[in-house]
Structure 1
């Protein structure tokens, strides 16, 4: 399984296993076990890298102080052989929940002094929560055993596996967040929001050789890690990012530490703290046993945070706190600006911060209004980005990302209204890759884009009394539709509304005059009934299509060279940015094409390519020739049991191999399957032709919706016997219909056997074909899987432009196609017809009196 399939499997099983335990709690248990497995496997890997044999590892225990010290020095912790995750698995039926309790207790005793901050108490949540997994030691053992077997296949033994492990960890956190309701915000920032913030931060930090980043409300640590990964792309070498994290809630603080350690970050680059960010004892931080010698103020290159919204906090004596005294103290009922000012204080002079806040911080008055004024006047606010509603789990409130700096070259504030760019996913809205790129590109260029962004001067903000509510500066609302009164009354298309399609007329200068004819009154009419045909074949449009085709004429070849032929050396971290730059460059001279729509096509395709590249680069080219069991869940004795249902291509899908290399076999099977479909339709036609009396035949089932095959065969046998004795039946008789149905059902029965046998043969043939592929065939199939979907989707973009223009023109034509006078005339004709019909009716005196009154009303009397 690839990492997505493995993550799906673990989530589906874990969600069923948690029973009545809240998702917010259960996540701590499964993620805790994943972390223990990581540490356990890491120790085994470390020992084997130092030439330890399996026999030697099996002897490792706390009674060997030299080995304990050696492992502690290198890893920061020690786990004896008896307590290894792999040992738990090997115990089989002898495994007991007490093994876990003993192991966790021993782990806490054997943490090295140097790494106490990272590991001490990290399993407290798991240790205390074991009792919630069952009412007795036996039920707890059963639940824990199921959990450790669920996660045993997560790979953790080489550098590539940090990505797999991190992906699964992130995926599980996001899925638990989706099921945790309001508590989700305590530990998770949606990955897309993290990416948006990370790209903004990384752009600012380009060129730095080392980076310190800090999240004062770190939650699961995913936001901090995403920022670090984006920033690291622009730094030569490894381990150049130092991570600082602070979290108030102990359970969530443990998630932060686990997440950071499991991403392969060096322990020396992790500094964490469990504490109240808004407390007076904020960093500078010191060790209790040596407050003077360990005193160390914290100033970093970037601060990122998604603090709890509008939280109550203690404001007593805070006016003299160094973080707040320049700007003001946030109200005790809303700590939003307290978090913001805390973040700002910890920035280095050239630093940058991004923070997620509720929309209200932009316009609320009182203390918040004063703080906002000071932030503007001291020139710290760099940008405000409005996000779509319902983008965070557990809350639908409108939120923003605010970008601030200690020092800025400009004094305006960039306002971006990104609230309209998203895709609906379940109950929540989600930023697409193209939405994120559009925002980041706009931020970097500080461009003014109608209905999307504008750089607002400080003077204008002053004039608005420091109210930063986004609609004051950027109006992203849809324009109200206009209706032309003259066109409604007399027909024709207003020239002003045709001009509303100006972007098309700019690109196709002579098309407008060929599409529309001008009337004497200055209004227009369509010059053709075949709007799409005229547009598609027009010289201007053909030049546009040809220009697009020319721009991408060698794109597929370039992709083949960069991705397929050079698969082993592709830098998966940066190549998407390179490819998007290439696409944007090619589209620079092509009008009307939405470059961000093109980017979205690239990203959709790239997500699949990246998974394959990760497999090939970590496991080698031979992985493309692998098939793996197709495991599915089936009910067995009332329980979901995982069983094998055939095989799957590990990298190359069976269907792709069949379409490319096994066309004849696939076509033969397809023809038989199509014939089965036709037979089913023909049998249904015969059934629908039966009369009510004929439906009473024994050959028809009790529900009267299908033929009973056995009964139909019996009836047909009797009919054929009668025909041998000389009986003759009409072509439309029940007897002839039953003969037809019987023949069809017999053919269907035989054909189903053939289809089953042919499908099994094709399946086996596909397995053999994949396992025997030549290198050239593998590369060709990779091109078909990776490149063709992208180039094909991009090639359709000019068609989309033509469709959009066609729809716009047709709408204008249909909008005024029926005039008011024509509508009035139709109504009058209908009234006259109804009046005539009323006059022909007869009935009781009272009914007729009412009808006569209606008739007079229709006549306008």
Structure 2
């Protein structure tokens, strides 16, 4: 049966629980990722003499499983890994973690139990169906783990991973496209775990030829493993310091040149000159200037520039300071701008990266068209630098900020199309930059700040809502042309007053005909898009990622095309985000199951069986007797709604009867449990009235009134018991009927249930919520304006005087006098 991504991620992350406490996250990642690698290559290549990785006898994950509970398990795992490493020239790559380290894993039984549990976590995963066409579960799972390791490692160890969202932006703006040849080269001089290189390679239809260098030994090993997990075994990753000892060279004094470069160098490296004399650099990397000794940002940028061929293109993440710092960095910046090497700058939100909270930017380099941007003092032409201020587009995710799918898409669209958007992006002539002394601080050129919400003093003094504030909602009045007159009436020149009470504003908006037309226009592109997607044609072996790429772009285009009909109140990127959220939370799991098992997977109910001594971790969808089941694709509620509507209606009636019986009993007990109530003596040791305590008290009671109350309580308890029994019997009967119906489902019924009842219904519900959110924004602003100017200063003064007079009168009546 197919592995769902979210289930795989959960299983892998739970494996980390076995290692917490003994070491830092930056260390236990080596253990978890090594076992992930061993499990993957064993499942994929064991017994295959033509596999990219040779798994010799005694060197597979199965051999690790055989060691479970063995007192020599740590040493045994080390030997298994060493044998695989020896066979495949992976020494120093997969054997970095010591599985016999008592300081990290504990001594004796503690180590045996910890490693046994760790191996058992991976044992239940079948990774043999991992695909190699961009839908590789393991590659994505690797990135999932790396992100969490970076989060847990904190500031000192977060440098081994660049957030995938940022990596994707670099890969898409650097210039790689569908026409890029597989022979084209991509280079990362500070490659970390290799995620940036892989993202860049994914942009080409058949991948790219990958080169990387990483200074940290363990991290370079992770990069090599990452390449293999992504079926990119030909990637070349070197260890070493790129600045002092670059490995990719052509001769002793020339750097190897590449077609593309992507990088996320360490920010503001203070030790970049250790072992290097920039003034006597063999590779002439500092021709345009020598960076400050205590700040290596431009050192990495200049190295990348020197490593690109004459038509090379690069994208580099650097701290914002490189845009405006002075002295040596200002001179380098000026020289690079005059040469036209910098094509564009993208300002990112703060707190995206794991090693630092400072904001960063992406500098895009383009040598091929540099001559068109090179500064000519005699011609202040418009062709200059393209800037984007994307600092406000993010979502909070724990203690970090994260780019959403809509933020990524908007950045890439805007940059690749060169779109000018107010407060977001524009072309900046080099002449304008020169007049700013080559300072590239983005706020100098783009004002991305939101306008202040100014209070109107005349409105506060004399009353009335300023017409300026009402006119600012013009985008809404264009869609709802009569609504403005419904909500506001003229008061005096330049000011209006509210016609509808603040509490009724939203209801008024929803009730107007124009809103109904707007909602219909907003839903129409979705209906058209969904009918064209043909989700029901998805077949076993198809690519989920290819499908989501195609349909998400189509959805975005449908809403771009309908912008006029919806008055541009709906952001097409926000609609795109709805789909991508659903993809992340549910759709990708369903499609991966279909890709591996086909539509018959809709009939599958998987029985949940706990390992010995453990509880079942998954929540069941159906419980039949003592057996618990999980639906692979179709939750039981979908079958109930389509095939058992009458039974569900009866069940709802029985549920209502049970609720009514429970409420009657609860009210009666509350009424009769006071000091003089008839149930006081029936309370048990916990001062609670129960059926048992009432029955016991009936036998002992002698007072007629108390006995009558007790018998009434017993009748109510009996009524509740009967109602609960009837509901449970009906519920069990429905569960059994649904359980029996799963194997009977036809493929066309499965498609209807999954595509229409699950996917379409869920997405439509999210879209309707987005439409309501837009109208809620209007309602909130109208209410805010009404409440802000509802009382003028004279009214407030009069109210104060009246209240003051009342207080004085009360005090006088009490024999006191207001001083």
The TM tier, using the shorter chain, reads 0.7 to 0.9
Structure 1 residues 275 and 91: alpha-carbon distance in aligned structure 2, compared to 1, 3 A threshold: closer
Q: Which has the higher helix share?
A: 1
Q: How many residues align?
A: 782
Offset of residue 359 of structure 1: 1.8
- Which of 721, 731, 748 pairs up with 1:776? 748
Offset of residue 138 of structure 1: 4.9
C-alpha distance in 2, partners of 1:354/1:521? 55
Contact 1:665 1:762 in 2 (8 A): yes
Q: What is residue 260 of structure 2 aligned with on the other side?
A: 302
Offset of residue 4 of structure 1: 1.0
- Which of 259, 268, 279 pairs up with 1:319? 279
Contact 1:648 1:654 in 2 (8 A): no
Contact 1:359 1:399 in 2 (8 A): yes
C-alpha distance in 1, partners of 2:543/2:711? 66
Q: What is residue 600 of structure 1 aligned with on the other side?
A: 577
Structure 1 residues 43 and 712: alpha-carbon distance in aligned structure 2, compared to 1, 3 A threshold: same
C-alpha distance in 1, partners of 2:284/2:741? 67
- Which of 303, 308, 328 pairs up with 1:367? 328
Deviations 1:322-362 (A, max 9, x none): 35323212222211111122222222333322222222222
SS of 1:124's partner is coil
- Which of 88, 94, 118 pairs up with 1:123? 94
Q: What is residue 31 of structure 2 aligned with on the other side?
A: 29
Are positions 1:225 and 2:185 aligned together? no
Q: What is residue 97 of structure 1 aligned with on the other side?
A: 74
Structure 1 residues 707 and 584: alpha-carbon distance in aligned structure 2, compared to 1, 3 A threshold: same
C-alpha distance in 2, partners of 1:739/1:752? 20
Q: What is residue 741 of structure 1 aligned with on the other side?
A: 713
C-alpha distance in 1, partners of 2:439/2:22? 47
Structure 1 residues 735 and 441: alpha-carbon distance in aligned structure 2, compared to 1, 3 A threshold: farther
C-alpha distance in 1, partners of 2:67/2:535? 45
Offset of residue 217 of structure 1: 1.5
Contact 1:104 1:127 in 2 (8 A): no
Q: What is residue 528 of structure 2 aligned with on the other side?
A: 554
Offset of residue 603 of structure 1: 1.1
Q: What is residue 174 of structure 1 aligned with on the other side?
A: 147
Are positions 1:254 and 2:236 aligned together? no
C-alpha distance in 2, partners of 1:482/1:694? 61
- Which of 437, 441, 450 pairs up with 2:413? 441
Contact 1:24 1:183 in 2 (8 A): no
Q: What is residue 243 of structure 2 aligned with on the other side?
A: 278
Structure 1 residues 685 and 384: alpha-carbon distance in aligned structure 2, compared to 1, 3 A threshold: farther
Structure 1 residues 325 and 175: alpha-carbon distance in aligned structure 2, compared to 1, 3 A threshold: closer
Name which of structure 1's ranges 600-609 and 128-137 shifts more when overlaid on structure 2.
Answer: 128-137
C-alpha distance in 2, partners of 1:92/1:532? 63
Structure 1, gaps ≥5 residues long: 48-70, 286-290, 843-850, 857-861
Offset of residue 259 of structure 1: 0.6
Are positions 1:713 and 2:695 aligned together? yes
Structure 1 residues 158 and 693: alpha-carbon distance in aligned structure 2, compared to 1, 3 A threshold: same
Offset of residue 774 of structure 1: 0.8
C-alpha distance in 2, partners of 1:737/1:369? 90
SS of 1:547's partner is helix
Q: What is residue 642 of structure 2 aligned with on the other side?
A: 660
Are positions 1:388 and 2:349 aligned together? yes
Q: How does 1:687-706 map to 2 (within 5 A)?
A: 687-689=669-671, 690-694=673-677, 697-701=680-684, 704=687, 706=688
C-alpha distance in 2, partners of 1:272/1:19? 32
Offset of residue 622 of structure 1: 2.2
Q: What is residue 41 of structure 2 aligned with on the other side?
A: 39
Q: What is residue 264 of structure 1 aligned with on the other side?
A: 231
Deviations 1:790-821 (A, max 9, x none): 23433454444333333322322222111111
Name which of structure 1's ranges 166-175 and 622-631 shifts more when overlaid on structure 2.
Answer: 622-631
C-alpha distance in 1, partners of 2:73/2:245? 46
Offset of residue 228 of structure 1: 1.8
Q: How does 1:812-851 map to 2 (within 5 A)?
A: 812-841=785-814
Are positions 1:152 and 2:123 aligned together? yes
Structure 1 residues 354 and 683: alpha-carbon distance in aligned structure 2, compared to 1, 3 A threshold: farther
Offset of residue 764 of structure 1: 4.0
Contact 1:154 1:165 in 2 (8 A): no
Contact 1:319 1:328 in 2 (8 A): no
SS of 2:98's partner is helix
Structure 2, gaps ≥5 residues long: 374-382, 621-627
C-alpha distance in 1, partners of 2:237/2:395? 35
Offset of residue 532 of structure 1: 4.2
Contact 1:384 1:416 in 2 (8 A): yes
- Which of 426, 430, 433 pairs up with 2:398? 426
Name which of structure 1's ranges 503-512 and 447-456 shifts more when overlaid on structure 2.
Answer: 503-512
Contact 2:186 2:260 in 1 (8 A): yes
Contact 1:178 1:184 in 2 (8 A): no
Q: What is residue 378 of structure 2 aligned with on the other side?
A: none
Structure 1 residues 643 and 554: alpha-carbon distance in aligned structure 2, compared to 1, 3 A threshold: closer
TM-score by length of 1: 0.84
Offset of residue 129 of structure 1: 6.3
SS of 2:270's partner is coil
TM-score by length of 2: 0.88
SS of 2:260's partner is strand
Offset of residue 749 of structure 1: 3.8
Deviations 1:188-213 (A, max 9, x none): 11222222222323x54342222322
SS of 2:156's partner is helix
Deviations 1:410-463 (A, max 9, x none): 542222222222222211111111111111111122222222222222122112
Contact 1:133 1:139 in 2 (8 A): no
- Which of 274, 294, 298 pairs up with 1:333? 294
Structure 1 residues 566 and 186: alpha-carbon distance in aligned structure 2, compared to 1, 3 A threshold: closer
C-alpha distance in 2, partners of 1:540/1:135? 69
C-alpha distance in 2, partners of 1:396/1:158? 39
C-alpha distance in 1, partners of 2:548/2:736? 36
Alignment RMSD, CA only?
Answer: 3.0
C-alpha distance in 2, partners of 1:695/1:456? 85
Structure 1 residues 399 and 300: alpha-carbon distance in aligned structure 2, compared to 1, 3 A threshold: same
Are positions 1:241 and 2:184 aligned together? no
Structure 1 residues 165 and 123: alpha-carbon distance in aligned structure 2, compared to 1, 3 A threshold: same
Offset of residue 309 of structure 1: 1.2
Contact 1:336 1:357 in 2 (8 A): yes
C-alpha distance in 1, partners of 2:529/2:60? 51
Q: How does 1:583-732 map to 2 (within 5 A)?
A: 583-587=555-559, 588=561, 589-590=564-565, 591=567, 592-607=569-584, 608-630=586-608, 646-689=628-671, 690-694=673-677, 697-701=680-684, 704=687, 706-716=688-698, 727=704, 729=705
- Which of 165, 168, 172 pairs up with 1:195? 168
Q: What is residue 624 of structure 2 aligned with on the other side?
A: none
Structure 1 residues 138 and 492: alpha-carbon distance in aligned structure 2, compared to 1, 3 A threshold: closer
Offset of residue 148 of structure 1: 1.6
Offset of residue 754 of structure 1: 5.0
Contact 2:187 2:212 in 1 (8 A): yes
Structure 1 residues 838 and 170: alpha-carbon distance in aligned structure 2, compared to 1, 3 A threshold: same
Q: What is residue 64 of structure 2 aligned with on the other side?
A: 88
Q: What is residue 67 of structure 1 aligned with on the other side?
A: none
